Homo-oligomer: A and B are copies of this chain.
Amino acid sequence: MHQIGAELDADTIERVRHSMASQGLMTHLGATLADIRAGLVTLRLPFRPELTQHHGFFHAGSTAAIADTAGGYAGMTLFAADKSVLTVEFKLNLISPGRGDWLEATGRVIKPGRTLTICQLDVWGVTSTARTHVATGMQTLISVAPPA
């Protein structure tokens, strides 16, 4: 198995980029892939009023969407090339208000597996001067055959 954080071959990176591009929600929110490593994927989501809750901060739904996606792709980097990924469940603690010029979400595989893979999810709110831990969570993924 790959060591978590190791560099990946071009095919795997392309597979993740291609899947990400097919996610309507990620485009709609404005999220982009910032880093793709073995079992470790980072997404970035610039602030827009379209992403906010009732206090003007990033909505927990925005935070959750990129955390879930980062974790899903972190898992997918360790799957066989003919497998796709689905989220079984995730849990997120919102530990600070979602403030920042952008959010950065990291999914990190804690326990890879043939059927189930477990990821840690972390989201930071980033400005030019500060980096705040906004959310932390866990996620269970399942490796599946892609739908026909």
Contact = CB atoms under 8 A, between A and B. Distances in A.
Interface of A: 19-20, 22-29, 48-55, 59-62, 64-66, 68-69, 84, 86-97, 110-111, 115-116, 118, 120, 133, 136-138, 140, 142, 146-147
A98 to B, nearest CB: 10
- Scoring A26, A60, A137 by chain B CB atoms within 10 A of each residue's CB, the highest score goes to A60
- The secondary-structure label for the interface of chain A is mixed
Tell me the number of copies of this protein.
Answer: 4
Contacts of A62: 25, 61, 65
Contacts of A68: 59-61, 64
A28 B51 contact: yes
Given A62-B65, A64-B90, A91-B92, 5 more contacts: A54-B84, A61-B69, A86-B94, A89-B140, A90-B91
A55 B28 contact: no
B64 A50 contact: no
Nearest to A20: B54
Contacts of A88: 88, 93-94, 116, 140
Contacts of A53: 23-25
Contacts of A111: 93, 95-96, 133, 136
B110 A87 contact: no
Contact of A25 (B23, B59, B66): B59
Nearest to A119: B93
A31 B81 CA distance: 35
